[in-house]
Amino acid sequence: MKEWQKLLWIIGIFLAAFYIPWESVLIRQAGLEAFMMLQDYARQHVLTCLIPAFFIAGAISVFVSQAAVLKYFGAKANKILSYSVASVSGSVLAVCSCTVLPLFAGIYTRGAGIGPATAFLYSGPAINVLAIILTAKVLGWQLGLARAIGAVIFSIVTGLLMAFIFRKDDANRETGEIFLPEDEGKGRALWQDAVYMLVMVLILVFASFAKPSEDDGSAWRMIFSVKWFLVMGLLVVLGIMLKKWFVKDELKGWVQATWDFAKQILPLLFGGVLVAGFLLGRPGYPALIPESYIQMLVGGNSLGANFFASVVGAFMYFATLTEVPILQGLIGSGMGQGPALALLLAGPALSLPSMITIGSIMGVKKTVVYCAIVVIQSTLAGMAYGYLMG
């Protein structure tokens, strides 16, 4: 951080301490909610989601060759293959909008095209099989089906639009800005690297496996009851692979890359969570912007209601699966079906913390365009669904 940036931080903190009216009950409640949301995030996501995701991102950065990335996710890669892989990634990972960030950073910084990379960025949190099933059970099969179809289509359309809008940037990355090394072997077979990555993905999936409701199938409850045994077994398998298949220098590089991603992402992520908590609060707890205002603005199926639901969903942080009970309460308070779908399509895929972090990875301009595409698509889909259901 440069000296003038440090000075700005000092001035900003001083002005906040000097002028924020902490004697106000509303302000004090909003401040408490900011740290309560940060606590919830630390308890629910850091150990079980973010840390495994950082290690996966570090592994992608170190062990996945840039040549292989460009072959399948590059701007000139086969579009059917690259977008198909990117659009179904979420059904495998089932991660939230913040957990997918280190994975996206690992893929994008290794030279993936902006289109497939952003398709993956959207699909990671949006195409969550558990969340879609829960949506169908709690909010109705129609909304669950609409969410599933919309999420798959959105991931592909978002990627294609980003690839078209920033096609010159992708061309520049290919022609001179990225060094493409030879795809040299590291003394391991391709299947060994694939198994190594698969084991870490499974650790992420099982460690972050949410507790199913009583209405869920016995298979989901059984997986949840043994998930930590599965995680421990996978960690043992991972340890054996690391000892037998990797050399010391490779492991050092992996740990260093993981730490680099954590340093880049965590401060912005935690700061964004604090801001989101201060403005919007946790579900059911008032903060600076009362929930009643939001409920009043998302009734019916007007353009304004759908757009507002998309924007609120984009800025508000949703822990994985929590969007369903939130919407259950909002629908009970008069929220329209169209805005409900709009929020479901924009909310899990975006959040204020993720926007800030994405901006540090691919730049402010690309981030603004990406967020605008998601919000506009969610608004249009909400209006269409509200019209069909009306």
**Distance from the Cα of residue 118 to its chain's centroid:** 11
As a whole number, the mean pLDDT across the chain is 80
* Helix or strand run (H / E) with residue 172: helix 167-172
Mean pLDDT across the stretch 143-159?
90
Angle at 50 between CA 37 and CA 153, to 5 degrees: 90
User: What does the pLDDT read at residue 178?
Assistant: 40
CA-based nearest residue to 241, from 197, 202, 278, 275: 197
User: What does the pLDDT read at residue 172?
Assistant: 62
3-state DSSP assignment of residue 335:
strand
Residue range 204-256, pLDDT digits in tens? 878 877 777 676 667 778 888 888 999 899 999 999 998 888 888 888 888 88
Half-sphere exposure of 243 (CA within 13 A, CB side): 6
Does the predicted TM-score (pTM) go above 0.85?
A: no
Q: Give CA–CA dist 64/110, Å, rounded.
A: 8
Assign 68 a pLDDT band (cuts: 50, 70, 90). Answer: low
Q: What percent of the chain has pLDDT over 70?
A: 83
Per-domain boundaries in the chain: 29-389
User: What does the pLDDT read at residue 70?
Assistant: 54
Residue range 106-132, pLDDT digits in tens? 778 777 788 888 888 888 778 766 677
User: What does the pLDDT read at residue 169?
Assistant: 76
Q: Give CA–CA dist 203/180, Å, rounded.
A: 31
Assign 76 a pLDDT band (cuts: 50, 70, 90). Answer: low
pLDDT at 49 over 80: no
pLDDT at 74 over 90: no
User: What does the pLDDT read at residue 180?
Assistant: 43
Q: What percent of the chain has pLDDT over 90?
A: 15
Residue range 273-321, pLDDT digits in tens? 788 788 777 766 778 877 677 667 888 888 999 999 999 888 887 765 6
pLDDT at 163 over 90: no
C-alpha to C-alpha distances, 127 to 119, 213, 246, 378, nearest whole angstrom? 11, 20, 33, 14
Question: 224 Cβ partners below 8 Å, 6+ apart?
Answer: 209, 210, 211, 212
User: What does the pLDDT read at residue 177?
Assistant: 42
Contact between 170 and 75 (Cβ < 8 Å): yes
State the CB neighbour count (10 A cutoff) for residue 256.
Answer: 12
User: What does the pLDDT read at residue 175?
Assistant: 46
Q: Give CA–CA dist 226/215, Å, rounded.
A: 19
